[in-house]
Amino acid sequence: MALEFRGSIGRSPASSPNTEASVTPGKSTLVGQLDTASSFAAAPVARKAEAAPGGTRAHLGNLAEGSHPGIQRGGPGKRRIGHIVGGKFIRDTGATPAPAPSSPPAATRHEGARAYVGTPSVADRTISDGSIAIRLKNETDEQAEAVATAISMASMVLDRAIGRLGDPTSPKVATALTKNFHSTQTAVVDRVRSTLQSIRSAFNATIAIEIEGADRNDARGFVPYEISGDVVIYGDIHLCPPWFADPDPIARLRTIIHECSHKFAGTDDVAYHWEGHYELLTPDDAVENADSYAWFCLEAF
Amino acid sequence: MAEPARARLAAFEVTLRRATRIRWPASGVYGPEDRVAFDPGITDLIDLRYAPSRRSLGREPVHENLLIELAQPLSGSVPSLLRIHRVLYRAGTDRLTYQSTQVVGTLTLVEATPDRYVIDAGLSLINPEIDLEHRGTYPLAGRVAVPR
């Protein structure tokens, strides 16, 4: 079964020459065919690429979670308790909440370019479509459904954006590059492609998502971050109440790409898209900026 | 949201964008997903920005952006009160949480040297169009150095 989604980015361009499309990213209609439902329905439980004991981990390179040979797979407390059918999360009969894992001591270890630090795995549910696995904490069924849908859509949008970069001179791609990275030079295109591929490759493993409570209202999402010596340490992606409250599926998938770019490509928040400074970013700054990737993916779609 | 402070504008990064004006949408107000656009203008725009890196905070940082469109070019001004034509203040993280285009207060040019202009600002943003965190009126004050 294919799930079609449509969304509107921004507002319609106004007719006034002073209010042309550049005021907004332009009215864009995003139409995609997702095989989310069937693929998730047929999925076995994700047993791949789950984090080693140490629920917070980090990397300095382009490795997705689980891609490092040193990662132990199948952490405690992760088992299939349901699946997605027709865009709905269905809890398996007899599934009960996973018992809380015992509390082994916090662990820190460094393996090559990656580091892992923290307390045991936070996952209490893993859902998978066989190609994308999502590990969740603190979620309701409705939230699990929303996350699964957004991540499937983000995966498809990333695939499309990477594909579109095969022809960076096409008007749509060149425009999206110019608006978000302020350059169409080969070096910039290569960097954008490489970063998007890093993000996309993370979707081949397990995406760990933690759901925040009502006290976290300042952002749609965030990735906790710390520096330990020379090692950058990223936590799981956290999604906050404003993300779930946003009725726009495009905005939700944009947040997924934004946060994944922090976690899997080490981007910064140099300027958000809504800032006047966004258009003044140099290409060097823009390729380090999370929102540049999120908006590029949608505008190149 | 960042706490308002009497002199917090002094922490903002300042850029003078000469002969530039804000491109105003026909609706009169930018929406939360809209990107601010600019056009050539006959006066100057002071771009004040507070944008800490997430690399120093460990989380999604709150950015603030105050754009002040002057009624006359700064280059022709002598120390005195400056007339403001329009303002646009936006703040938020990955989502815009506060926006105001109405301001009360004063902007005073106190010094003009070959390198810079020094401006004292005592402003309050009022009647926000977007105020997701119920901040209400928001004071922004401080002395800023505007590089020429």
Q: Please give the torsion angle defined by the CA atoms of residues A180, A182, A185 and A189, in that order, rounded to the nearest 10 degrees.
A: -20
Half-sphere exposure of A281 (CA within 13 A, CB side): 29
CA distance B53 to A262: 12
Backbone angles phi, psi at A165, to 5 degrees: -70, -10
Backbone angles phi, psi at A72, to 5 degrees: -80, 140
Cα B7 versus chain centre, distance:
14
Is B60 close to A222, i.e. CB distance below 8 A?
Answer: yes
Q: Nearest-CA distance from A299 to chain B in Å?
A: 13
Comparing C-alpha atoms, which of A126, A28, A115, A130 is closest to residue A75?
A126
Q: Which residues of A touch B67 (CB under 8 A)?
A: 276
Residue A65 near residue A51 (C-beta atoms within 8 A): yes
Residue A100 near residue A122 (C-beta atoms within 8 A): no
> HEC string of chain B?
CCCCCCCHHHHCEEEEECCEEEECCCCCCCCCCCCCEEEECCCCEEEEEECCCHHHHCCCCCEEEEEEEECCCHHHCCCEECCEEEEEEEEECCCEEEEECEEEEEEEEEEECCCEEEEEEEEEEECCCEECCCCCCEEEEEEEEEEC
Instruction: Kindly identify which residue of chain B lies nearest to residue A272, measuring between CA atoms.
Output: B94
Is the pLDDT assigned to residue A24 strictly greater than 90? no
Q: Any idea what the Cα angle at residue B98 is, between residues B95 and B101, rounded to 5°?
A: 130
Comparing C-alpha atoms, which of A135, A112, A128, A156 is closest to residue A56?
A135
B18 touches chain A (CB under 8 A): no
| Two tokens, residue A240 | 């906050």
Element (H, E) at A129: none
Query: What is the average pLDDT across A216-241?
Result: 83
β A107-111/B96-100 pair status: unpaired
Q: Nearest-CA distance from A275 to chain B in Å?
A: 6
Handedness of CA A246, A256, A118, A73 (dihedral sign): positive
Is the pLDDT assigned to residue B144 strictly greater than 70? yes
Element (H, E) at A260: helix A249-265
Is A221 close to B39, i.e. CB distance below 8 A?
Answer: no
Residues in chain B: 148
| Two tokens, residue B37 | 């656009």
Q: Nearest-CA distance from A220 to chain B in Å?
A: 7
| Two tokens, residue A34 | 């997702």
B124 Cβ contact partners less than 8 Å away, ≥ 6 residues apart:
B103, B104, B105, B137, B138, B139, B140
CA-based R_g, chain A, Å: 19
| pLDDT given at position B58 | 62
CA distance A52 to A114: 12
Query: What is the average pLDDT across A257-275?
Result: 94
What digits encode the pLDDT tens for the residues A67-126?
A: 332 223 333 334 444 554 444 445 555 444 444 334 333 333 333 333 333 333 445 677
CA distance A251 to A254: 5
Residue B67 near residue B45 (C-beta atoms within 8 A): yes
* Cβ-based burial of B147 (10 A; exposed 0-12, middle 13-18, buried ≥19): exposed
Reported ipTM: the value is 0.90
| pLDDT given at position A217 | 72
Residues pairing with B87 in the sheet: B68
Is A269 close to B95, i.e. CB distance below 8 A?
Answer: no
What digits encode the pLDDT tens for the residues A28-76?
A: 345 343 333 334 333 333 333 333 333 333 333 333 343 332 223 333 3
Query: What is the average pLDDT across B54-58?
Result: 66
Residue percentage of chain A with pLDDT more than 70: 58
Q: Produce one character per residue of A257-279: b if its CB has 16 or more CB atoms within 10 Å, e if not.
A: bbbbbbbbbbbbbbbbbbbbbbb
Is B55 close to A10, i.e. CB distance below 8 A?
Answer: no
